A = this chain, B = another copy of it.
Amino acid sequence: MTIYDVSEKAGVSIATVSRVLNGSDNVSPQTRQKVLDVIEAYDYTPNVFACGLGLNSMNTIGILCADASDLYSANAIYNIEQELHKNNYTCILCCTGYKLADRQKYLNLLVNQKVDSVILVGSTFIYDNEAENEYIREAAKEIPVLMLNADYDCENVYCGLCDDFKSTLQATNFILDKGISDILYLYNSKSYSAMRKLSGYQSALVQRGLPLRMEYMQYFPGNHADLTSVADFLSELDGTLRYGAVIAGDDNLAIGAMKFAQKKGLSIPRDLSIIGCNNSILSRCCEPELTTIDNCLETLCHHIVKTLIGILNNSEMPQKVIFSGELIKRGTTL
């Protein structure tokens, strides 16, 4: 069944059928109804490829994330998909991993697939070395690029993010207020967002006139999903470092810290306070439950999709919107 069949059965031209399909208002109500009746009767659906060829778009959005099995990404993907679907867009999912070359290939692929836009989930898509962000600027020349939880200034790039600096500042102050000042900051990523978190931690200390000691900011180089290896990492550090609290850039790391504490026989939060980040299901799964930072992922997703839809409808949209996280106080802090 093609548009020709419909036009014939409805006794109109294909142009008129096309107008009805695309909701053009230059069609008389009677004609429109005639066409709709035929479409209904024969259950006609336009061929997407032909539409694509005609309109140079298939109402498709690319979602890029490093790893869809990561809790944060999984949640983001879910929320974004739901919102996009409501707006009649289809999602192409790409799990790029963390390598620049692969990301470049994936992004290129999406541009060639003629998606209407792409959403990059997570701050690791931005590299410190500005030259490495060329792949994003390239893409942004073709289509709008949306970024979830990353901050990048560029024409045709739109960012929605959480004020990570403020979150860890608040978290650190919360610990300091309890009278604990030797706080280990544990992180697993050197992305912009991760570094902002670290800055928040540092700022809190500086504001109180406390010293910044490098050995209290530990970068865990492994995979954060491997909780045991996080715990082992802390064990190896043990002896050289004394701290009364751990603030982690991520719930996984925080859980790793809990595993370490349990192995060492420390009581949480009496001997050791722990704060995570992301308010993932992991934070509710341990005992005691983890105090963590909620970085309003859902809000971010809604915002990103709203922005995207706005752009595609040629509305002016803000290029950067920053939301605020919230410290969720649970059992791992005093």
Contact = CB atoms under 8 A, between A and B. Distances in A.
Interface of A: 45, 47-50, 52-53, 56, 58, 60, 63, 67-71, 73-75, 77-79, 81-82, 85, 90-95, 109, 112-114, 225, 227-228, 252, 255, 258-259, 262, 281-282, 284-287
A67 B75 CA distance: 9
B58 A69 contact: no
Contacts of A73: 74
**Overall SS of chain A's interface:** helix
B91 A92 contact: yes
- Copies of this chain, complex-wide, total 2
Contact of A91 (B45, B67, B93): B93
A255 B258 CA distance: 16
A227 B285 contact: yes
Contacts of A56: 49
A77 B93 contact: yes
Contacts of A285: 227, 255, 282, 285-286
14 contacts: A48-B112, A63-B93, A69-B75, A69-B77, A69-B78, A70-B74, A77-B77, A82-B95, A90-B113, A91-B94, A92-B92, A227-B285, A282-B285, A286-B286
B284 A227 contact: yes
A132 B228 CA distance: 45
Nearest to A68: B78
